[in-house]
Structure 1
């Protein structure tokens, strides 16, 4: 692999502004680059369903060795503020001037994929079919992955089930294989409006009703694999009006669907008890935002990749993580994903940085796995 070339490619890419919903310029750049490298490309235009601008990019580099192939995956959007990135290189660390995010999440992953492909092509390395999935809008509820029209994807472009997602924060050697499902919930509390100064006794304050219900809900760490959080409480009335409406939203995430649903049922019971003692009404809605990611091969794929790292002298760690990614969406279609460390730190902040040494180790590991 060519370290200097990968760094130059990374710097070039982070200067292309590609926040969620506005990744078109970057997607065009990648399509041109990949086609020049000889990959076959298919573009899924699911973005029309959610007001985006860029397709999910499917790519294929035909192999010369029989086998089921492997898929490399990453996402094309970055977290704001990301316009006008001014990269600063200090030794092996690339960071910003503190006014923007860097975009290592996940342009570091894409730089790794591009250098992997270039190395394999230039050195005529024998390999099975290599597939790519580069999704837009991963940072915005995985909208790109959720809106892929799989029925339109040409049969020969359907990616291999074993998928290496190059999008894990932290050092090379970290291999995440399991991630939680997330359910979002919305509770609408309804009271009775009245003049707060003249006849408050005729009213029933929905904010107070919400506080009684929420105060009895267990939040934070539910158990070792389940968490919960209340994100918003909204009610906008002048102080001389008894509020008759209050809306609260939150999430429960975990690795057990049964525990998540049990937690949500507990929240409904808190609302029922509050209404029973205080009056008023409530409406409770829940939706599964993304399913859980779990290995379907008893960790065989994760352990195979760990051996590649270990042969390089890189310490490995198999991880169960608390965040979701496109892998969770692909899991419903039977994809078996591992999410590997890129060398990015302090992601989603203006203190974000990328350790090039770690990125190189991960890229070398991917090349070695593909050419095994």
Structure 2
């Protein structure tokens, strides 16, 4: 089974996670892919492959060189984002010759290089796309396919490698991917998540992340007799949102700029809830952002009475601090990319990965590209040749670690 066949197989397994669930994993359907992967790992010869009660798939490959080497971990996640439909994915591969791609004739859904200019960089390549009604799920099933094909390559070609630890995790997309992950039992000294996007990405910085939950209690009365009585919880939520810095919304930020993002707003006159995510690469700046939203809530509580409750919770931290002592790993990765003719792109992740939290749990875990683009939506695509490049980088990195002095 080649890398394309693997990805086609994986994306057709429905694994969307659910942020409102209280179970772990958040959806039992993630076990469907987990069991498939355990069987495939055993077929490759990783006899200890297993899935535990939390949905973690783990396996180990013993080294074939006589050297005392650090154990390298490779991780990707099985779930897909609840931001778009993930059931009934219909993948297909096309040779892209430029211009528009008609994803769905019946619904007139078009993937256009006018809307997505990065398409112009992949003319002449083979793209896996959707039918426009679901996401593809290359985030991060492409990472799984890349790791599995890297293992196949190492084993079938008997290439030199040290001890390897492999893990496929659930619930990354809802921020719980490593809630129950046993770093010590996994046994890796350093690791990579294969969960990036553009060809050449290697990332060791990410956001410092805080979630903010706002609960508003209004007063609901008949609108015909509402004067001096009604307090509309929806209106209070809108007023709160207007008090936050307009220029710090995601659509106006890039690079190292942070943002306030209103992710969900639900409710009625009587009660409303707003879910925000606060992001910046600097922990002090995120602390200041938390103070800004707290000050806005305090002001509205003085204005309307104690009607608003704010709950702030740290989600993950910038992994840079934990990876900087291991920059030789990043340098080695860059060298492999250059040898493969890939231009390294070292930029911060404007988001987070399982590696963000794993790094703070004692396992330094930077992130590598998969090649996928437009994640979390129906316009998602991935060039097969870029997936193959990612596999070549993973294999090359493993070989270099095994053979360097």
- Counterparts of 1:177 and 1:202, CA distance in 2: 53
Other-structure match for 2:284 = 258
Residue 167 (str. 1) matches residue 169 (str. 2):
no
Contact 2:38–2:51 (CA under 8 A) maintained in structure 1: no
Specify the alignment match of 2:86 in structure 1.
81
Separation (CA, whole Å) in 2 of partners of 1:25 and 1:210: 40
Which residue in the other structure is 1:320 paired with? 348
2:16 aligned counterpart, secondary structure: coil
Whole-angstrom distance in 2 between the partners of 1:97 and 1:190 = 43
1:122 to 156, 174, 190: 156
Spell out the pairing of 1:133-172 with structure 2 (5 A cutoff).
133-141=167-175, 143-148=176-181, 150=182, 157-171=185-199
Q: Which runs of 5+ in 2 are unaligned?
A: 18-26, 96-124, 401-405
Contact 2:86-2:136 at 8 Å conserved across structures: no
**Partner residue, 1:12:** 9
Matches for 1:11-90 after TM superposition, within 5 Å? 11-20=8-17, 21=27, 22-41=29-48, 43=50, 45=52, 47=54, 55-65=55-65, 66-79=68-81, 80-90=85-95
Aligned partner of 1:232 in structure 2 is: 264
- Give the match's secondary structure for 1:119: helix
Alignment RMSD: 2.4
Q: Structure 2 CA distance, aligned partners of 1:81 and 1:286?
A: 30
C-alpha spacing 1:190/1:18, structure 2 compared with 1 (3 Å): closer
SS at match of 2:379: coil
- Aligned equivalents of 2:222 and 2:5: distance in 1? 65
Identify the structure with the greater strand proportion.
1
Q: Name the CA distance, whole Å, in 2 between partners of 1:308 and 1:180.
A: 26
1:108 to 142, 159, 163: 142
Q: Secondary structure at the match of 1:268?
A: helix
Whether the aligned pair in 2 keeps the contact of 1:180 and 1:323 (CA below 8 Å) is yes
Q: Any conservation in 2 of the 1:87–1:102 contact (CA below 8 Å)?
A: no
The match for 2:100 is: none
Matched, 1:179 2:206: yes
Q: Which of 293, 299, 309 is matched with 2:327 structurally?
A: 299
Greater CA drift, 266-275 or 123-132: 266-275
Q: CA deviation at 1:345?
A: 1.5
Deviation at 1:95, TM superposition (A): 1.8
Q: Deviations over 1:48-93 (max 9, x none)?
A: xxxxxxx211111001332012111111123433424242332522
Residue 348 (structure 1) aligned to one of 376, 392, 399? 376
Q: CA deviation at 1:278?
A: 4.2
| Residues 217, 76 of structure 1: alpha-carbon distance in 2 compared, 3 angstrom cutoff | same
**Which structure 1 residue ranges, 5 or more long, are not aligned?**
48-54, 238-242
Q: 1:106 to 1:192 in 2, by over 3 A?
A: closer
SS in 2 for 1:74: strand
How far apart, in 2, do the equivalents of 1:86 and 1:205 lie?
46
Aligned positions, number: 349
Normalising to structure 1: TM-score of the pair? 0.85
The question of whether the paired residues in 1 share the 8 Å contact of 2:126 and 2:383 is answered with: yes
User: What is the alpha-carbon distance in structure 2 between the residues aligned to residue 199 and residue 12 of structure 1?
Assistant: 57
Offset of residue 46 of structure 1: 5.0
Asked whether 1:308 is paired with 2:336, we answer: yes
CA shift at 1:185, angstroms?
1.0
Q: Give CA deviations for 1:132-184 in whole Å, capped at 9, x if unaligned.
A: 0111222232x342132x2xx7x6x523232121111111x111111112211
Please, what TM-score do these two structures have when normalized by structure 2?
Answer: 0.79
Contact residue 41 and residue 49 of structure 2 kept, 8 A: no
Instruction: String of CA shifts for 1:109-140, please: whole Å, max 9, x gaps.
Output: 11211121111112222211011011122223
1:327 to partner: Cα distance: 1.0
Per the TM alignment, residue 6 of structure 1 is displaced from its structure 2 partner at its CA by 2.2
